[in-house]
């Protein structure tokens, strides 16, 4: 636990959702921060441990309703993990009050206000879109120290982009026909109380959903566009897995003429040579369990010799590198700390 | 239960594996058959109910070691559900003794002996390959009444082919670039006692395996080749789901110019107009649970407007339409009975 | 499917809850009934197959709002499977309109109005309590043919009573100190949309709940009282399992002096000699999976030699013998049919 | 990571089993130890990361076959986590070579050689039984600094004893009739490759096993005997849950006359006032998920007013406080360190 004189003071806004609880889990053991505020609209006034029993005896805090000014007055940095639509105004108020923000929501990810409006509807603070830094840490690192507002990437985009970017940046794959078949655990939907997320509906089942319509597709395309060009369009199909955490994306690409798996290997190894959270498994595809409970992304690649498709497999914990973990990595980068501070856990296996 | 004078006498060879047990479950309530022999090498001499407690008080049979002549002497038809490599000689002996056979194994599926050898190794009864009928019932119906040996299709091929064939037969999709991203429950591997199938390894996990190397890819290509041509090559990636039963295949195809989803719908509806086990769900993709415990295959289709990929979603119970169910449907067709005899169950939901 | 001239006409009131859907699954294949009405408040106006995809192509019915008179006018018998508190008035109206009713709810189980009020609150139709027959079929059979209203027992009581009654009726166990440690799958709570039943909350978890306060304890005691006397009090602790279906009750009793496991065996075998849904496994305790998807109750018993506790293990499918299955068995008995009509399924394993 | 000059050097003998892997997970981040040897008979010669992918990029070690002298030469302390029967001779050799040992196996837990022989068979190093310290840390603390060999308690006994001991030591409950109904995740059986632990056998199932015969019952009784007397006999029934980790024990006791739940509360609070790994939840029973991934034991208690049984609910992670966690806590106590060193994780929820 940090010495109070050194540590920065942080807030977790929306601490009782799944991403919020994971932030609490990581931050409680982060050597350079002190959690001074945790908010929850539904449970304001309760002790944190009543709602998150895992903190019993370990973290003694009272949940409060989210008041941006009150939070900004006591905190150097706030993590905002609110349901979509609930956070824009609050985030803006935090930023204006001088509190740095890492936003785990989806409202500051699309840079183009028109695109945002098309995908999510009207934006309540469009002036902030320009200054928000898209926090895929491995690709945003230079901009993070000066950021006031970091838009933490979506879980599916994080999984897909970390596998695709080293290849598309070097022009190693055809720009057309990229297929991302992604499978996610249920916490990707947050703590949404809806019939479709009941145990009896999810267990021993699998379904595809929002084929061609998921909001994360435009986010992926936004990040691929600089390399693939304006017309860039990926086919993205998410599936709901009967597991709690983890995303596995199976990605189908066409290597350009003359490109083989050695070229892929070079691209991945060079791009990620110094990255502590990227694990390259080459032709042994990673499994979800390899990364659950961590901030890691593991990536493998294999050529189907006969059909000439290359198959990338990328796994993350949607609450780790796909949410809370990457948020903390972004904070670490923003503060100039080692990016691994507070994030050096091993996966809990089995 | 059938009257003994009307019913044919059947054997389940390999009755204690998962497909064998599912055959027993269906056959025990089939109005036109009587199970007279159940075999198990490991449990020979035990009562069936000791090994399959679900049959307690419902089916009183003794497990015996598999002796083809003894089985042929007492049975009109045998279902063989043995691990790969264990069944060829026994199946040949059954056929030669005049017992009709529906083989759930993989040894009679590839018609070309050279292809079989390349994929599975030397075949122990190559002379039978020619007379074996590939039993994808909806496409093999005419040949079934005269068959002596039916090769029941693989589970993944059943799932993929029922979705693809109506489109490729009519030339509605590009022959190149077909991607089959398939996800299967663990019973697809049979009752294999190996570390990778332990609960603690499978639960809350997902992995891709045998990318570009699975033995079901050549089987799929064999059935697509008449429509797609000699060079036909699909990209097939199977995944192991943390569920017991069910396969969901997400299939990516490129509609030919001028083909839209209405054309797809017409193709599916016309091809499957009179099929009792094919459920068409159009643009609402089916879920695995819709078919668990049944012989159904449910198929949906959706266009990703921007990327122009069409996405097919096909679900079966790998032990139903992917194994025991289709085997019984094949028997029904072979005997000239209603194909739904003994197979009219509704899915057990939830 | 029944010939319309022979079959009785039945309604499933509350057809889209879990017990209701299971009634539909069984009744759709029952040879002596025809489902003519299915009701759902939330989905009135929709086709049944939209809400229960497993019925697609198999049952073509429109969901309607529950109107007791309209149902009574078209049906000979109604199964009512409504959330607690929603059914009393409707059930009364059905009965008064001459429609026989099997009620799967909890409102007619406690015979004593004062006890009902203490446990559940004010009863809306107390005059019916007296005429309702408690439908633990194996113990109520004689009263069923004349019943107009059958109160289907709770799932936990069914599991516990079928194991305890043969022993307590013969006075083989001490009346004090009976412990029922019961574990249930989540469908025991119905399709309740609440955070505690979300997949992410239930998966890989286990919890005890309502210790000493569950409403099923008085129901169990009501049925034991004739044998154990007025002061009868069992210790009943339910647990929520991460499974969809099934109850396993581990029951601890003290054999009276001179009673051994042979005495137990005799009691069980004599009491259940002709019962088709009771499976006795003696000292090999049954597992939940042995009965999932069926109307069976399997019971085992073992003596802990050192501590002198006898341990009973009883398993049922909470949606089968614990709800829909027993309701149909009760209908069969009421109508004078074979009790196994429509209920002769084998468990779906694995 | 520890500075090499300060840290003690430790070995994990049997590093690829589930308890061994959990030791590695904890020890890799323990500030006062350095892992210098990891052994595995089956994988000797491989890199640890090949077998435990979660260590990829985080721990670079080669697995070796277990050679006690070689281990003792390089290590100050060894954790032995071998299958039953495999460790006795090796442990003895380690101890004789001057290496301190924390043994996670079952061979040094029963102090009485005759009792050991009755339960487990002949002991290969009976002279060590006397000097082994039974390491239920909260009750063994004084003996640990001088111990050369610590017998880490069984997982079920840990869960049961931590709940029972505060009550029996004070004589608050009747000594007769104690019932321990325990439910464990599958990792309690280690990485045993057997049909009964396959996913398809465990998922959506529950079973009781070894009723009155489990080897952990004599271990529990050994620890209760000083308080309850020679004739002490508990009724212990374990169940196999479809979860990976965690034990929940529901324990039924009879409070002595005059004892109420306040007396219980006082006993627990006083006994565990300074314990960092004991969480008391009073009348809100803890759930398994509250402790998964940690070394915590959470305990609740409730009186069933009518039956006068008190119900204790105790949860641990069988790989945490039930194995690797407690082993490290024991090492910490042995070395005179803070017991929480390396063990201050929060539960991974959900």
Residue B326 CB contacts under 8 Å (≥ 6 apart), including other chains: B135, B136, B137, B152, B153, B158, B295, B320
In this complex, do B350 and C18 lie within 8 Å of one another by their Cβ atoms?
yes
Lowest mean pLDDT among A75-89, C253-267, D36-50: A75-89
Please say if the pLDDT value at position C329 is more than 70: yes
Report d(CA C290, CA D206) in Å as an integer. 10
Report d(CA D54, CA A281) in Å as an integer. 12
Q: Which chains touch C (3 or more CB pairs under 8 A)?
A: A, B, D
Mean pLDDT across the stretch A234-263?
Answer: 98
Interchain CB contact of C348 with A (< 8 Å)? no
Please say if the pLDDT value at position B1 is more than 70: no
Please say if the pLDDT value at position A3 is more than 70: no
* DSSP code per residue over A30-76: -TTEEEEEEE-STTTTSBHHHH-GGGTTT---BEE---HHHHHHH-S
Q: Say if CB C215 and CB C196 are below 8 A apart.
A: no
Helix, coil or strand: residue A309:
coil
When pLDDT is cut at 50, 70 and 90, the band that residue A5 belongs to is low
Helix extents (H) in chain B: 18-27, 48-51, 68-74, 88-96, 113-120, 137-140, 155-169, 199-202, 216-228, 261-271, 325-335
Helix, coil or strand: residue B326:
helix
Mean pLDDT across the stretch D85-102?
Answer: 93
Q: Say if CB B222 and CB B276 are below 8 A apart.
A: no
Kindly state the helix (H) or strand (E) to which residue A160 belongs, with its residue range: helix A155-169
Please say if the pLDDT value at position A112 is more than 60: yes
A297 is an active site residue:
no
Report d(CA C22, CA B133) in Å as an integer. 38
Query: Which of D52, D187, D347 is facing A54, going by the closest CB pair?
Result: D347
Residue A288: the pLDDT is 98
Q: Which chains touch B (3 or more CB pairs under 8 A)?
A: A, C, D
In chain B, residues with a C-beta closer than 8 Å to the C-beta of D42 are none
Give the burial class of B301: count Cβ atoms within 10 A of its Cβ; 0-12 exposed, 13-18 middle, 19 or more buried.
buried
Q: How far is A201 from chain B (nearest CA, A)?
A: 7
ipTM of the complex, rounded to two decimals: 0.97
Which of D161, D169, D164, D138 lies closest to D310, judged by CA? D164
Residue B189 falls in which region: left (phi positive, over 0), alpha (psi -120 to 50) or beta: alpha
Which pair of tokens denotes residue C299? 């019971």
Q: What is the mean pLDDT of chain C?
A: 96
CA angle D39/D45/D48 to nearest 5° reads 60
Residue B5 CB contacts under 8 Å (≥ 6 apart), including other chains: none
Residue C334 falls in which region: left (phi positive, over 0), alpha (psi -120 to 50) or beta: alpha
Report d(CA C95, CA A27) in Å as an integer. 61
Residue B234: the pLDDT is 98
Tell me which chain D residue has its CA closest to the CA of residue C203.
D243
Percent of chain B with pLDDT over 70: 99
Q: Say if CB C239 and CB C202 are below 8 A apart.
A: no
Q: Say if CB C77 and CB C10 are below 8 A apart.
A: yes
Which letter does DSSP use for residue D1 in this model?
-
Report d(CA B294, CA B312) in Å as an integer. 21
When pLDDT is cut at 50, 70 and 90, the band that residue C1 belongs to is very low
Report d(CA C347, CA B287) in Å as an integer. 22
- C111-167 pLDDT, tens digit per residue, is 999 999 999 999 999 999 999 999 999 999 999 999 999 999 999 999 999 999 999
Percent of chain C with pLDDT over 90: 96
Which pair of tokens denotes residue C84? 């607690």
Residue contacts between B and C (CB atoms, under 8 Å): 86
Q: How far is B289 from chain D (nearest CA, A)?
A: 14
Which pair of tokens denotes residue D11? 């070995």
Q: What is the mean pLDDT of chain A?
A: 96
In chain B, residues with a C-beta closer than 8 Å to the C-beta of D191 are 195, 198, 200
Bridge partner residues of D149 (DSSP): D101
Instruction: Please state the φ and ψ torsions of residue A156, each to the nearest 5 degrees.
Output: -60, -50
Query: Which of B208, B212, B303 is facing A250, going by the closest CB pair?
Result: B208
Residue B5: the pLDDT is 60
Of residues A21 and C6, the one with the higher pLDDT is: A21
Lowest mean pLDDT among A322-331, C83-92, C218-227, C236-245: C83-92
287-306 of D, contacting C, C-beta below 8 A? 287-289, 292, 302-306
Kindly state the helix (H) or strand (E) to which residue C24 belongs, with its residue range: helix C18-27
Residue D21: the pLDDT is 97
Interchain CB contact of C53 with A (< 8 Å)? no
Q: Say if CB C23 and CB C79 are below 8 A apart.
A: yes
Percent of chain A with pLDDT over 70: 99
CB atoms within 10 A of CB B98: 10
Interchain CB contact of B216 with A (< 8 Å)? no
CA distances from B121 to A291, B86, B157, D201 (A): 37, 13, 20, 31
Please say if the pLDDT value at position D314 is more than 60: yes
Please say if the pLDDT value at position B310 is more than 60: yes
Tell me which chain B residue has its CA closest to the CA of residue C347.
B54
Which pair of tokens denotes residue C294? 């069926």
Which of A309, A317, A319 would best serve as a mutation to test chain B binding (most B beta carbons within 10 A)? A309
Q: What is chain D's Cα-based Rg?
A: 20
**In the block, residue with structure tokens 């929480």:** D340
Residue C5: the pLDDT is 60
Residue A1: the pLDDT is 47
Report d(CA A278, CA D57) in Å as an integer. 9
Q: Say if CB C127 and CB C121 are below 8 A apart.
A: no
Q: Which of B75, B99, B155, B297 is catalytic?
A: B155
CA distances from C238 to B253, C164, C175, C217, D72 (A): 50, 17, 21, 10, 50
Please say if the pLDDT value at position A187 is more than 50: yes
Residue D1: the pLDDT is 47
In chain B, residues with a C-beta closer than 8 Å to the C-beta of C187 are 350
Which of C245, C249, C247, C237 lies closest to C207, judged by CA? C237
CA distances from D16 to A284, A346, D25, D82 (A): 19, 15, 11, 10
In this complex, do C199 and A242 lie within 8 Å of one another by their Cβ atoms?
yes
Report d(CA D306, CA C63) in Å as an integer. 44
Residue contacts between C and D (CB atoms, under 8 Å): 151
In chain A, residues with a C-beta closer than 8 Å to the C-beta of D25 are 346-349
Of residues B84 and A209, the one with the higher pLDDT is: A209
Residue D6: the pLDDT is 77
Q: What is the mean pLDDT of chain B?
A: 96
Q: How far is B188 from chain A (nearest CA, A)?
A: 14
CB atoms within 10 A of CB B86: 16
For chain A, the residue count is 350
Q: How far is C129 from chain B (nearest CA, A)?
A: 32
Please say if the pLDDT value at position B43 is more than 70: yes
Residue D33 CB contacts under 8 Å (≥ 6 apart), including other chains: D2, D7, D8, D9, D10, D27, D77, D331, D342
Residue B293 CA, chain-centre distance (Å), reads: 13
Q: Which of C99, C155, C232, C297 is catalytic?
A: C155
Rounded to two decimals, the pTM is 0.97
**In the block, residue with structure tokens 């299971």:** C22
In this complex, do B279 and C52 lie within 8 Å of one another by their Cβ atoms?
no
- D211-232 pLDDT, tens digit per residue, is 999 999 999 999 999 999 999 9
Cis peptide before A53 (omega within 30 of 0): no
């Amino acid at each position: 636990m940090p010495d109070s004189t050194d540590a920065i003071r942080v807030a977790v806004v929306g601490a009782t959702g799944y991403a919020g609880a994971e932030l609490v889990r990581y931050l409680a053991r982060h050597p350079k921060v002190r959690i001074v505020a945790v908010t929850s609209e539904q449970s304001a006034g309760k002790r944190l441990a009543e709602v998150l029993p895992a903190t019993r005896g370990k973290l003694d805090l009272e949940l409060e309703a989210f008041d941006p000014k009150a939070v900004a007055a006591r905190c150097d940095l706030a993590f905002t993990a609110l349901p979509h639509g609930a956070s824009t105004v609050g985030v803006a108020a935090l930023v204006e009050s001088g509190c740095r923000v890492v936003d785990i929501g989806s409202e500051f990810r699309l840079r183009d206000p028109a695109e945002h409006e098309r995908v999510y509807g009207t934006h309540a603070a469009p002036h902030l879109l320009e200054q928000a830094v898209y926090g895929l840490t491995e690709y945003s690192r230079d901009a993070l120290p000066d950021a006031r507002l970091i838009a933490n990437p979506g879980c599916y985009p994080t999984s897909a982009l970390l596998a695709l970017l080293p290849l598309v940046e070097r022009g190693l794959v055809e720009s057309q026909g990229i297929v991302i078949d992604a499978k996610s655990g249920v916490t990707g939907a947050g703590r949404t109380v809806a019939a479709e997320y009941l145990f009896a509906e999810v267990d021993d089942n699998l379904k595809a959903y929002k084929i061609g319509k998921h909001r994360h597709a435009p986010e992926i395309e936004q990040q691929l566009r600089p390399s693939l060009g304006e017309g860039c369009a990926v086919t993205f199909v998410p599936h709901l897995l009967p597991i709690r955490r983890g995303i596995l994306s199976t990605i189908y690409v066409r290597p350009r003429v003359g490109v083989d798996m050695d070229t892929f290997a070079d691209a991945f190894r060079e791009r990620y040579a110094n990255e502590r959270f990227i694990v390259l498994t080459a032709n042994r595809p990673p499994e979800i369990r390899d990364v659950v409970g961590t901030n890691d992304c593991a990536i493998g690649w294999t050529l189907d010799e006969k059909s000439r498709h290359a198959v990338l497999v990328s796994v993350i914990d949607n609450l780790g590198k796909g949410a809370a973990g990457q948020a903390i990595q972004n904070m670490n980068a923003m503060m100039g700390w080692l990016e691994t501070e507070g994030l050096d856990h091993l996966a809990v296996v089995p």
